[in-house]
Structure formats: C-alpha cells, structure tokens
Amino acid sequence: MTVLVLGGAGYIGSHAVDQLINQEYQVAVIDNLLTGHQEAIHSKARFYQGDIRDKEFVRSVFAQESIEGVIHFAASSIVGESVEDPLKYFNNNVSGTEIVLEVMHEFEVKSIVFSSTAATYGEPEDNPITEMTPTNPKNPYGESKLMMEKMMRWCDEAYGIKFVALRYFNVAGAKTDASIGEDHHPETHLIPIILEVALGQRDQLAIFGDDYNTEDGTCVRDYVHIEDLIDAHILAFEYLKAGNPSNIFNLGSNSGYSVKQMLEAAREVTGKEIPAEVAPRRAGDPSTLVAASDKAQKVLGWQPQYTDVKKIIETAWNWHANRPNGYQE
C-alpha cells in the first residue's frame, strides 16, 4: 500500500517524503513543479508530474497506485500574494482540494492528513492559541485553508473520509544532514532571509515594525522544526489508520521568539554580523502567535525534539551555507 503525497517537491512535502521513505513507507508523489523542485524528491518515491486541479490526471494516479491514504501539501502559501490575488488561492487551494476529495471518494480512499495553518485564527487576543480559539482568518490564504478544513468535515459526514488538519505555526529548519531544505522564489520567510544576509546575498534584514505590543516591540512567533512537524504528520496518518475520528491539531513549539531574538540567535549560530534596520510594519502581521500544541502531544503522542531555536536555525544555516543557490546549482 502506498501513501500519496501531494506537493511532495515543496519545502515541507519533500521532508515528508524523505521521512516516510526512511520509515519504509511506499510513497507516490504528485507535484506540478510550479514552486517545488524535482531534485528535492527522494529517488525512491514514484513521481507523477501534474496538477491536482486536473481531475483526469489525478484519477490516473489513483488508478495506477494502490493508495491507502493521502498527505496533502499542494497549495499556494504566500499571504501577501493571496491578498493581491485571492482567486488564485481559492482556485489552487480550495478547488484543487475539492478535486482530490472527489477522486478519493471515487476510489474509496478514506484518510487524508493535510497542512492547515495558524492563519486560520487571524489575530486572536489571547496566546497561547489552542484548537478551541475561534477561527477568524484575516487573509485569503488563511481563509482558503479554513475552507479546506470545512470541506473535509462535510465529506467525513457524508462519505466517511477521515481527515486530520494540522495547523502549522512557523515551520523552519532543514533536514539534519542538509541534503534538502527551504528554497522559495521569492523568499518571504524570516529565517531564510536572515541567513541570506549572513551569506552576503542581501545587504540587510528589514525588521517589519518595532512598535508592536511585545517585550521588544517586534513580532513574536512560534518556530517549529521541519522534521518535528513531519513526525506529527506520520503520527496523524497512523492515527487515522487505527480508525480514530477526524481531528484538528496545532503544531508549534509552545514558545515565542521575537524578530529581534531570532536575529540575535542567528548572529550567534552563524558568527556573522547580519546588519538589520527597522522598517515599516508588514500589512496583516499579527503581533503575537504562539501555539498550545499539548493536544497533538497528548492525542498523537507527538514529541518535538527541537526545543532550542538556535538548533533550528543551525539546521537551516547548514543547508543555506552548503547550497547558497538552493536547488539551482
């Protein structure tokens, strides 16, 4: 039996494929390679290049493979872009998922684990955020993920397709041996941008606002290591296989770090000066997002290994320093 990974050539998907194969799962991958990298896909995975919105293509993969469940990472994920072009997000994320569910229903595949996001919560007043915190997305990206969750809920009721939605906080780092890592174009995330400054590829970090209501005035986020995050997906997959009900879990580290703290930690890890300057706030950034992930620990038995943010940055640094041009070389 095979696990089908949608978006297996992307940053998070490629780490999932790698960990699944290292744990002896049979893996098939679908990716349209619009943002992913073929080189990032483990050579032991069977790769099908195509788009999840192409129903005939998705059907052909389900017909060829004996699929026991799906792990779904195939989505657009840039918040700013989603505000400029919401229809791109409703098309790729929502319509794409709808096609996947139609084909799952047709082929009687009954479990799906998928990437949701802390952006479904919007700007909650209280932290840490639990799964009971009301959802109130502030951008089309978060809205599209919440719509995906809701679609899954009704498909569970009607067709018995069980799902686990994993609401990620800030995913960071790379595989410990630095063979795969994060490579986005354009890059918008804090840690890779800081490390590009450390490598001399950018002049300085722009700190987006230092007048937030936080200890040092910069935004606070909860950073979770990519390999810990994937562990939770595999546990969630097994949880569904064991016949458990659909569920939603936050995935974070339960601790918050400000932009300035992250910069300081990166300076220590890299030994580089990393110039930075305070810039205006970025539209739509909530001041603080910190997860309570106790539910995933309790119900799934998830045990994140990376509790020190410097260790997370170190794995990202090993990747970026080894592959300064990412997969392009």
Q: Which residues bind ligand UDP (CB under 6 A)?
A: 170, 188-190, 193, 205-208, 219, 221, 259, 282, 285
Least Å from the CB of residue 80 to ligand UDP:
9
Question: Which long-range contacts link 189-192 to residues 24+ away (Cβ below 8 Å)?
Answer: 190/221, 190/259, 190/262, 191/223, 191/262, 191/266, 191/312, 191/313, 191/316, 192/316, 192/320
From the CB of 215, what's the least distance to ligand UDP, in Å? 14
Q: CA 176, CA 186: separation in Å to the nearest integer?
A: 24
| Residue whose CB is less far from ligand UDP, 15 or 221 | 221
141 in active site: yes
Which one from 11, 25, 121, 141 is the annotated catalytic residue?
A: 141
Nearer to ligand UDP, 62 or 89 (CB): 89
In one-letter notation, the amino acid at residue 41 is I
User: Which is nearer to ligand UDP, 90 or 208 (by Cβ)?
Assistant: 208
Rounded CA separation 276/263 (Å): 8
Residue 318 CB, shortest distance to ligand UDP, in Å, is 19
Burial 25-46 (b: 16+ CB within 10 A, else e): bbbbbbbbeebbbeebbbeebe
Task: Write down the least CB distance from residue 189 to ligand UDP, Å.
Answer: 4
Q: Which residue is nearest to ligand UDP (CB)?
A: 219
Q: String of b and e for 309-326 (b: at least 16 CB within 10 Å)?
A: beebbbbbbbbbeebeeb
The residue (of 50 and 80) whose beta carbon lies closer to ligand UDP is 80
Enumerate the active-site residues: 141
